[in-house]
Amino acid sequence: MMTGEAPLNTRRSSNEAAPPGFRALAEYITRELGIKMSDAKVPMLQSRLARRLRALGLDSLEQYHRYLVSSEGAAERPPFFDAVTTNKTDFFREPQHFRYLVESALPSLDPGSDRFWNAQVWSAGCSSGEEAYTIAMTLGDFGAARQRFDFSILATDISQRVLQAGMDAIYEKPLIAPIPEELRKRYLLRSRDPADELYRIVPALRSRVRFSTLNLVGPEYRVSQSFEAIFFRNVMIYFDKPTQERVVCRLCRHLRPGGYLFIGHSESLAGLDVPVRMVAPAVYRQALTGEP
């Protein structure tokens, strides 16, 4: 520890006051990212920012906040967003959704096999790409059994670190465990050096996934296409109810009529005024034009 540095003590009792700077940072996080930050998050924020404070030679959350919001602090915002977001994800996480996508959702939107169909799916809050590539593998197989079908996936997140990992598309062996063996054979390449035990998504799938920075609570979504399905899973769990409602309504504007919204199984749209109705666990659908 540097001389004069405030100890980044991660143990605190529940009635202890939040350290100076914590509330200002918490408000900044909620305003910029929509993420709720109660005083219970003090240890988490301290431990996640400890490395940033050391890198900048700062002694306290208060100093860090002052730097972050200053004009010189603009370059600190991406590493700050990397540090404060929770990026847990997996290939084939909540796998029933991928079955639903190809067994129910897409067949209900099929324009007919005499028409060319370029299906669009958005992974909003995509983390390091596992969700987007799972969708890509699922659609790759769906397309192999169908004429005149192609697909594109938009994968967006606020964290540059995870977006870069998604673009690199290289995953360590334990991460690929949930991918069924036959899909691994088709869609993964193993590193040349077997000692590395690294796997890369094949170029044909990588080329169908476009990664982009997008803040779901930011002023505008620079997204022009409309989507057959939007995966918005395990993101709004960190938002308060009004933010959840606003973000879901904004996302739904990018669904094509009859399009589907997938949320995490531990999330709910109950009590929110949103233009979709539940059709399966954690799956919602926008009305087809003309439907009540």
Ligand X SMILES: C[S@@+](CC[C@H](N)C(=O)[O-])C[C@H]1O[C@@H](n2cnc3c(N)ncnc32)[C@H](O)[C@@H]1O
- Name the site residues for ligand X (rule: CB under 6 A): 33-35, 85-89, 93, 125-127, 131, 157-159, 162, 215-217, 233-235, 264
In this complex, which beta carbon is closest to ligand X, that of residue 62 or of residue 90?
90
Given 12, 23, 48, 200, the catalytic residue: 48
H or E stretch including 79? helix 77-84
Report whether 68 contacts 76 (CB < 8 A): yes
Q: Rounded CA gap, 134 and 140, in Å? A: 10
Instruction: Respond yes or no: is residue 184 known to be catalytic.
Output: no
Minimum CB–partner distance for residue 227 and ligand X (Å)? 15
Q: Rounded CA gap, 22 and 60, in Å? A: 9
Minimum CB–partner distance for residue 40 and ligand X (Å)? 18
Q: Rounded CA gap, 125 and 230, in Å? A: 10
Minimum CB–partner distance for residue 153 and ligand X (Å)? 13
Report whether 264 contacts 239 (CB < 8 A): no
Instruction: Respond yes or no: is residue 48 known to be catalytic.
Output: yes
In this complex, which beta carbon is closest to ligand X, that of residue 244 or of residue 286?
244
Given 52, 82, 93, 157, the catalytic residue: 157
In this complex, which beta carbon is closest to ligand X, that of residue 84 or of residue 198?
84
Minimum CB–partner distance for residue 95 and ligand X (Å)? 12
Q: DSSP letter string over 224-288?
A: -S-EEEEEE-SSGGGB-HHHHHHHHHHHHTTEEEEEEEEE-TT---TT---SEEEEETTEEEEPP
For the annotated catalytic residues, the residue numbers are 48, 157
